[in-house]
Structure 1
C-alpha cells in the first residue's frame, strides 16, 4: 500500500455551484466565504453513535464510503451491479471483496455525472483524502490503497474526523427502547467537543398493522418499566421514553409514515383498537386510524416535553419485494409518492399549531407541495418550519427550486437549516458545503437584482447555518 498523505487538492473548482455571471459570482464568493468555515450543525442524521463513542478505526473504503450510502449503491444497482457485491444489507466482504466492490464503483463512475453524489464523492476524495485522481477502472486500485492506508492513521479515526469537520452538533436516529449508552459515554467525555444528540424515532411502535406490533409494545413497556397491555400504559410508556431521550440530550422526534393525515379518536375507541392490535385482530382501516391518532398524540406530548416534532412522509418503503426479502429494509428502493399536507395536518394544527413551545418541521419528498402547502403553513403558524429538501431533493437543482418556492412566502427564518440525513459520515461536510454554496448563490442573485443589500445577504448567509437550525431544533 502507498503511504497515506494529505496533499493540496487543485482539481475541484473553487467556484463550483456559484453563479455563472461574473458580477453575481463575485458577490456569491464573498457570501460563501462568510459561511464556508462555520461549524456544522447536523440536527438529523443516521451516523451510528457507537462509531464516535468507541472511536473504532474504519476498516476499508467500501464499508465506509459505499455500502452505507444508499445514494451511491442504488445507482450502481441501476447499472446492473449486485448489491451483495457492494456489501449492502450486512453482507460481509473480505479484503478482496471490498476491493472488487470499489473497482465496480470506479468502473461505473460515469453513471454519477450530474448527480449530487458525484459532487459529494469528489469532495470526499479531494478534501478528506487529498486525492487528485478521478475514479476509473485504471485508478481504482491506487485510490483504494491510498484510502485504506489513510484509515490506519489516527487522523482518520471517527473522533478526529468529527473535529476536523468542525461538527458542533450531530444528531443520530434512535429506537425508543435504545439504552442510549453511547450518547451517555460521549456526553461524559469532556475531551470530545461535538454534541451528539439522540432522536426519538417511534414509527414502528405507532403502526398497529405490523405483525410484530404486540412484541414491540411489550419491549416498549419493558424499557419504560410500565405495563403496556392497556392503551393507557402504552401512552405512559411512550411519554416515559420521550423524557428519557430528552434527559439524555435529545431535542427532537422523527416521524415517517406514508401520509400525515391526523385525527383524534375517542379514548374508548383508541383503547379498543389498541387491544385488537395486540391480539392481531385490528383491521387495516383501524390500524391506519390509530396511527393517524397517534401522530396527534405525539404532538400533544411535544407540547408537554418540548421535543421538536419532525415529519417526513411520502416514502413507499421496500418497493422491490425481492430486494427486501434478500437484503432487508433501507437498501435503496424506498420510492417517493405524492403527499397532501394542508388538509392532512389541519386537525393537528388546529389543536396545537399556536401552542406555546410546540415546533413542527415539515419535510417532504414531494417538492410540488413546497410552494403550495408547506411554505404557506410555515408562513402562518408560529410552530411550523419548512424543512430543507432532503432524500432525493438534497441536490443542487432541487435546493435551488426549494429556495425559490419557499422564501418568497415564508422567508429564510421559517426554514430548518440544511439537513444532511446521512449515514455516510465522511460526506457530511461535502453535503453542508454544497448547501452553503447554493445559498450563497441564491442570496447573491437577490443582491444583484437589488432585492437585498449585500450586508443583509451577509447576515442571512450566516444565519442560515447558525441561528436558523438552532432555532428550528431548539439548540
Structure 2
C-alpha cells in the first residue's frame, strides 16, 4: 500500500449489467435470464460462517470485524502489498498484540482499495457496501471515516442483526463447517429458538484422519469424550466417528467435507490400518504411513456415507498453511494456502469403483486445478451417477473462472451434473454478492447458447432457475 497515494472522492455506483456479455443482443437475452433468477432464494451449502453469530444474534461489533478481519480474500491482498496481519486485526495464537481499533483497521483497508481492482473481492465488496449498507462513495484514505460511520450506524440498528440480514438476504439454508468434536450447541440453540432460519452443520473430519498432526492424539482423546466411545483401538476410533456423524445428522447435517492434500482413496487392509493407528497413538507414525491412513480414511468416509446418506464433498489440492511462520503465529486459514495439481482419475478410482453406483452415495468434487475440469472431473460426473461437479470456489471464485468452468464441462457433463454455487465464505455479509456474481455469469453463458442457436430462450430460463436452486437442493439431499 502507498501511504502517500492521493485520490479524489469518487461515487460508488453499481452497473446493473456488470459481468453480463457486452454484445448488445446477447446482453439483452442475458438480462432477461438474470431477471428470472436474481431474487431466487440462496442455497448456501458450503461455507464457514460461525453458527454462533446466528445463535447469539448480537450486533456485529464494527465494520472492520464484519468486512475485513474474517475475510482472508481481503487480507491476503493487503498482505501481498506489505500489510501485517496484526495491523489488520487478525488474532495471534500466542495472545500477542494486534490492532483492536476497528477504525484504524478500516482506514488501512480503504487506503488499499485500489489493490482490489479487477478482483472478485472488489465485486463482492462493492455490492455489500452499496446494497447492504447504502454507501455511495468509493473507499479511499480520504473517505474511510465517512464510510465507517455509515456502516457503524447501520450495525447499531436491529435490522442489521445477523438473523435479520439472513432473512433479508433470502437465505433458504446455510451450511456451516464443523469439527466432529463440536457439540453443535449453537445449532441446537438456533433450532430451539422461535426464529425459523435454517442453519445446518457439516461434518469436517480432516483433523482426525491426518494422524501426523501435532494435536492429533489430544483430538482423539477428546473424540472419545464427546462420543462416549473409546478410541484406544482403530475399531473404537471408527465407532466414535460414526457416533459423531449420527449426532450431526440429528442436528440437521446434510453433508461431509474433506480437504485432503490429494484425491488418493486407496483402502488399507484392516490389519495395516490398525497398525498405523497404533503407531500414531504411540507417536511413532511415519509421513508415508500418515498419507496412507488419510487415503484409507477418505475411502472409509465414503463407506460411512452409504450408511447414513450424508453427501460427501471432496476438495483436494491445496498446500495448506504454506508459510509455517504465519501458521505458527496466526493459526490455520489465514490466506497462506497455495493450489497444487491433483490426479482425480487415479486417486478416486478405488472409492468410485466401490461406491460410485451405490444408491445411497453422492459426492461433490471441487478443484482449484482448472486443468482437471475437462480432462477428469467432467468425464467422471458424466458417467458415475453418484458424482456431481462442484463449481469454481476459492481461488477460482471469479467471473472469468466460472465462465471457463462452464465452457470446459458442459460438453461432457452437461449442465445437470452440477451441485449449484457454493460461496465458501467466512464473511457473512458477502454471501448474497457472491451468489449474485454466479447468477450473472450463468445468465451470460446461457444467453450465449441462445444466441448461437443451441438453446431456446424458454430452455435457458428454465435451466437458469435449475442451476440456481433446483440442482443444489437435489445435490445436497441426504441419500436413501
Which bin holds the TM-score, normalised by the shorter protein? over 0.9
The SS at the match of 2:266 is: coil
C-alpha displacement of 1:465: 1.2
Alignment match, 1:186: 190
Alignment match, 2:396: 393
Deviations 1:228-269 (A, max 9, x none): 100110010111111110111000000001101111111111
Provide the C-alpha distance between the structure 1 equivalents of 2:326 and 2:34, rounded to a whole number of angstroms.
Answer: 42
Alignment match, 1:3: none
Deviations 1:192-216 (A, max 9, x none): 2321010000001001111322221
> Is the 1:170–1:196 contact (alpha carbons within 8 Å) kept by the matching residues of 2?
yes
Provide the C-alpha distance between the structure 2 equivalents of 1:353 and 1:198, rounded to a whole number of angstroms.
Answer: 25
With structure 2 as the length reference, what TM-score do the two structures score? Answer: 0.95
1:85 matched to 2:87? The reply is yes
Alignment match, 2:30: 28
Residue among 47, 50, 53 paired with 2:52: 50
1:334 matched to 2:337? The reply is yes
Q: For the structure 1 residues 270 and 93, does the alpha-carbon distance in structure 2 shift closer, same or farther, using more than 3 Å as the test? A: closer
> Is the 1:388–1:415 contact (alpha carbons within 8 Å) kept by the matching residues of 2?
yes
> Is the 2:110–2:141 contact (alpha carbons within 8 Å) kept by the matching residues of 1?
yes
Alignment match, 1:172: 176
Alignment match, 2:18: 16
The SS at the match of 2:230 is: coil
1:295 matched to 2:298? The reply is yes
Alignment match, 1:130: 134
Alignment match, 2:154: 150
Alignment match, 2:351: 348
Residue among 274, 277, 280 paired with 1:274: 277
> Is the 1:365–1:390 contact (alpha carbons within 8 Å) kept by the matching residues of 2?
yes
Residue among 438, 450, 469 paired with 1:466: 469
> Is the 1:163–1:193 contact (alpha carbons within 8 Å) kept by the matching residues of 2?
no
Provide the C-alpha distance between the structure 2 equivalents of 1:322 and 1:241, rounded to a whole number of angstroms.
Answer: 33
Provide the C-alpha distance between the structure 2 equivalents of 1:141 and 1:94, rounded to a whole number of angstroms.
Answer: 17
Provide the C-alpha distance between the structure 2 equivalents of 1:378 and 1:317, rounded to a whole number of angstroms.
Answer: 27
> Is the 1:35–1:465 contact (alpha carbons within 8 Å) kept by the matching residues of 2?
yes
> Is the 1:211–1:280 contact (alpha carbons within 8 Å) kept by the matching residues of 2?
no
C-alpha displacement of 1:94: 6.7
Alignment match, 1:111: 115
The SS at the match of 2:347 is: coil
C-alpha displacement of 1:99: 1.1
> Is the 2:403–2:445 contact (alpha carbons within 8 Å) kept by the matching residues of 1?
yes
C-alpha displacement of 1:427: 0.4
Provide the C-alpha distance between the structure 1 equivalents of 2:419 and 2:91, rounded to a whole number of angstroms.
Answer: 31
Provide the C-alpha distance between the structure 2 equivalents of 1:183 and 1:262, rounded to a whole number of angstroms.
Answer: 31
Provide the C-alpha distance between the structure 2 equivalents of 1:203 and 1:423, rounded to a whole number of angstroms.
Answer: 18
RMSD of equivalent CA atoms: 1.3
Residue among 200, 210, 226 paired with 1:207: 210
The SS at the match of 1:342 is: helix
> Is the 1:135–1:143 contact (alpha carbons within 8 Å) kept by the matching residues of 2?
yes
Q: Which runs of 4+ in 1 moved over 2 A?
A: 89-95, 191-194
Deviations 1:48-105 (A, max 9, x none): 001001101101111110010000000000111111011113577676x221111111
> Is the 2:260–2:315 contact (alpha carbons within 8 Å) kept by the matching residues of 1?
yes
1:257 matched to 2:272? The reply is no
Q: For the structure 1 residues 380 and 92, does the alpha-carbon distance in structure 2 shift closer, same or farther, using more than 3 Å as the test? A: farther
With structure 1 as the length reference, what TM-score do the two structures score? Answer: 0.96
Provide the C-alpha distance between the structure 2 equivalents of 1:322 and 1:286, rounded to a whole number of angstroms.
Answer: 26
Q: For the structure 1 residues 254 and 92, does the alpha-carbon distance in structure 2 shift closer, same or farther, using more than 3 Å as the test? A: farther
Alignment match, 1:6: none
The SS at the match of 1:270 is: helix
1:445 matched to 2:452? The reply is no
Provide the C-alpha distance between the structure 1 equivalents of 2:414 and 2:386, rounded to a whole number of angstroms.
Answer: 15
> Is the 2:279–2:285 contact (alpha carbons within 8 Å) kept by the matching residues of 1?
yes
Unaligned 5+ segments in structure 2 are 1-10
> Is the 1:168–1:193 contact (alpha carbons within 8 Å) kept by the matching residues of 2?
no
C-alpha displacement of 1:423: 0.7
